[in-house]
Structure 1
């Protein structure tokens, strides 16, 4: 895709600070990091989002993300890692090439960890939860 920024990075037409590259995936540093060590994992084959990516490319991206998470904990001293995918504009996707955010998390505060997610867990309505479960189970 000639207008996709991530495809341009894969092709070498745009710069990126690469950290892992294999036949199917590329991992590089996010230029708008939520924390120290925040990186992105993308498939080399263009897929617009989670609903479009093939199972082999998705598995390869997850494997690369797992390796990055391990490295963040071992080499950067991260206390944990968030793995985030945004699928669709309503879910904050801004680049329409499937990608995973691998965001190291640090217990020692905001000097290395500025990510604040908007979701605060609270109890849901049991009836609505059951209705959604039926719909997701194809039993609607």
Structure 2
């Protein structure tokens, strides 16, 4: 059985404004922001505002609404970066590769012949800010 959700994880702190982030999208369901250790140009994380440790404990209604936002942000990323494709990653528990225990989806724009960078390298803050603006500019208003 998985451990309980801890609201003091780094994403919980980002949601509360205790840690800065480069916001791409926000509404009452989801918050999307630039990954500070991107594996591709334009790497974005989408998280629910509801506290959920992973895929298996999020409320089904929240998950359904969250996935609509994941798709919405993904379309903006693909447009903003003229990507040939997109990779979606989602990990659960340490055995599944999860490091931060707040449900999150990685959106990585991809280009033919370009490999993902290895994990762990911090990005330039000004570059992340510019990329967030580029994605926001490509984003259509959200409609259900």
Q: Which of 25, 32, 35 lines up with 1:27 in the alignment? A: 32
> What's the TM-score, normalizing by structure 1?
0.75
Q: Could you say what the CA RMSD is over the residues aligned between the two structures, in angstroms? A: 1.7
C-alpha deviation, 1:21, in angstroms: 0.2
Choose the corresponding residue for 2:70, options 60, 65, 89.
65
Q: Which has the higher contact order (CA 8 A, sep 6+)?
A: 2
Q: Mind listing any 5+ residue stretches in structure 1 that lack a counterpart? A: 117-140
The unaligned stretches of length 5 or more in structure 2 are: 1-5, 120-144
Deviation at 1:114, TM superposition (A): 2.5
**What count of residue pairs does the alignment treat as equivalent?**
114
State yes or no: 1:53 paired with 2:58: yes
Max Rg structure: 1
Distance 1:79 1:22 in 2: 28
| 1:74 lines up with 2:66 in the alignment | no
- What is the aligned counterpart of 1:97 among 95, 102, 106? 102
- Deviation beyond 2 Å, 4+ runs, structure 1: 113-116
- Report 1:37-52 matches (<5 A): 37-52=42-57
Distance 2:90 2:44 in 1: 12
**Is 2:70 the partner of 1:83?**
no
